[in-house]
Amino acid sequence: MRKKLAKRNGERATFRATFERFGIKRGWMGDERTVLLKDICDAGGAIVSDHLWFNFTKAFALLNLQPGDGVQFDARVKEYVKGYFGRRDDVFDKPAEVDYKLSHPTKVMKVAK
pLDDT at 1: 61
Task: Tell me which residue range forms the domain holding 81.
Answer: 3-111
What CATH number has the domain bearing residue 10?
Answer: 2.40.50
The one-letter code for the residue type at 5 is L
Alpha-carbon gap, residue 66 to 7, rounded angstroms:
31
DSSP, collapsed to helix, strand or coil, labels residue 105 as strand
How many domains is the chain built from? 1
- What are the tens digits of pLDDT across the range 18-60? 999 999 999 888 999 999 999 999 999 999 999 999 999 999 9
H or E element: which one contains 83? Answer: none
Q: What is the pTM of this model?
A: 0.86
Q: Pick the closest to residue 34 from 50, 52, 18, 17 (CA basis).
A: 52
Q: Taking residues 86-103, what's their average pLDDT? A: 79
Tell whether the model's pLDDT for residue 93 goes beyond 70. Answer: no
